[in-house]
Amino acid sequence: MKRILFICHGNICRSPMAEFILKALVKARGLEDQYYIESAAVSTEEIGNTMYPPAKRCLTQHGVWFDKNRTARQVTRADYDRFDRLIVMDSSNLRWLMRIIGSDPQDKVHMMMSYTGRGRDVADPWYTDDFETTFQDLLEACEAMLVL
């Protein structure tokens, strides 16, 4: 089983969007028994909060199911051992994550857009208010991830 943890700053926009996009793709391909997928934050700012309403709207507009009751949590050092891949949305998330886990001796940490062959960040829609572009980036990266 592949265990994947998506990580962003607050775990209310990008990482839960990626979580539910990948879950939808996995379900559509009948691969649910091959994947375990979660998301988390590097910060503590949103712990316990549900997904940001515009992120929920964007997923709904694209027909992507999500758990309305899931709440933000912070990534822990133990997550490094629990997951096969820890996928961050931007270089800031990467720096924060490395402070939490210390090092990446098993090469588990990846940038989200690296799966598309582009090393750029996934823009944070909390600041850009462009949830559609974020959705498309996440969808492209999740689809590429399943090909590997």
Q: Looking at the annotation, which residues are catalytic?
A: 8, 14, 124
Q: Which residue has the tokens 């050092």?
A: 77
User: Which residues, listed in sequence order, are joined to residue 8 by a DSSP beta bridge?
Assistant: 41
In the three-class reduction of DSSP (H, G, I as helix; E, B as strand; rest coil), residue 58 is classed as: helix
Cα-Cα-Cα-Cα dihedral of 69, 71, 77, 81, to 10°? 20
- As a whole number of angstroms, the longest Cα–Cα distance in the chain is 40
Cα-Cα-Cα-Cα dihedral of 81, 2, 94, 43, to 10°? -70
